[in-house]
Structure 1
Amino acid sequence: MTVQPALDGTIPNPPRPRADDYETWLATVWPKFTEAAATGRTFTTYEIAEQHRLPDPPNPQAHWGRLMTLLQDHGYVRKAGWANSSRPTTHHSGVRTWKGTAAARRSAAA
């Protein structure tokens, strides 16, 4: 597969693959998000997905939000605020930011 360079000469990252089923996708992405939560830093979902080149879920419009709700329900993250998205297709729209909890940091240390 050939990749078209951008106008500035840089080579863009290829699109992330899309998972076929939700349960397999969840098992793939869960550890990366619990690791991010254990750092205690504030992050967006897209930042973690892009950093680790995680696959998109079968239904991205619903499943990314569901992932974060599950992580919150399990005590790994809490809502931290809002930021402008760094996702190229969102035109810097507002997105939720998340922060790892003390419990997430403790579970990483155990």
Structure 2
Amino acid sequence: MTANVQPTLDGTAPPQSADYETWLAVVWPHFIAAAASGRTFTCYQVADINKLPAPPNPQAHWGRLMTLLRDEGYIRTAGWACSDRPTTHHSGVRTWKGTTAARREAAA
């Protein structure tokens, strides 16, 4: 069974990775770089700016990624904002900020 994938604004389907581990290896460095920047960000902002592929299960894997980054000590919660994602109608989303560990990882 394939998950429903939200089309992009031009009507095409976003690229999607075949398995979670492959997808994680692709997106992880972009989120570490965002965390190391010192700026507050949302998951969607990082994905959109870097044109990252959708995970195999978008409903679960984006949140799992952010939980892994937090649990590994790379990010911490910074608050809430209105989402920039076109399909959310400005719903509230968590914002994140990088930690010292993220700055060290990016410098390595």
Q: Which category of TM-score, normalised to the shorter sequence, fits these structures?
A: 0.7 to 0.9
Ranges of 4+ aligned residues in structure 1 off by more than 3 Å: 11-15
Q: Which runs of 5+ in 1 are unaligned?
A: 1-10
Count of aligned residue pairs for this structure pair = 100
- When the two structures are superposed, what TM-score results if normalisation uses the length of structure 1? 0.84
* 1:66 aligned to which of 44, 64, 67: 64
The corresponding residue for 2:35 is 37
Judging changes above 3 Å, is the alpha-carbon distance between structure 1 residues 67 and 45 closer, same or farther for their aligned structure 2 residues? Answer: same
CA offsets 1:55-110 (integer angstroms, 9 cap, x no match): 01011110000000000111110011000000000000000100000221123234
Note the C-alpha offset of 1:19. Answer: 1.3
Percent sequence identity over aligned pairs: 70
CA contact (8 A) 2:34 2:46 kept: yes
**C-alpha displacement of 1:14:** 5.2
Normalising by the residue count of structure 2, what TM-score does the alignment of the two structures yield?
0.86
Residue number in structure 1 paired with 2:20: 22
Kept in 2: contact 1:16–1:53 (CA 8 A): no
Deviates more, 1:57-66 or 1:13-22: 13-22
- Higher-Rg structure is 1
Gaps in structure 2 of 5+ consecutive residues = 1-8
Please give the root-mean-square deviation of Cα atoms over the aligned residues, in Å: 1.6
* Aligned equivalent of 1:50, options 27, 40, 48: 48
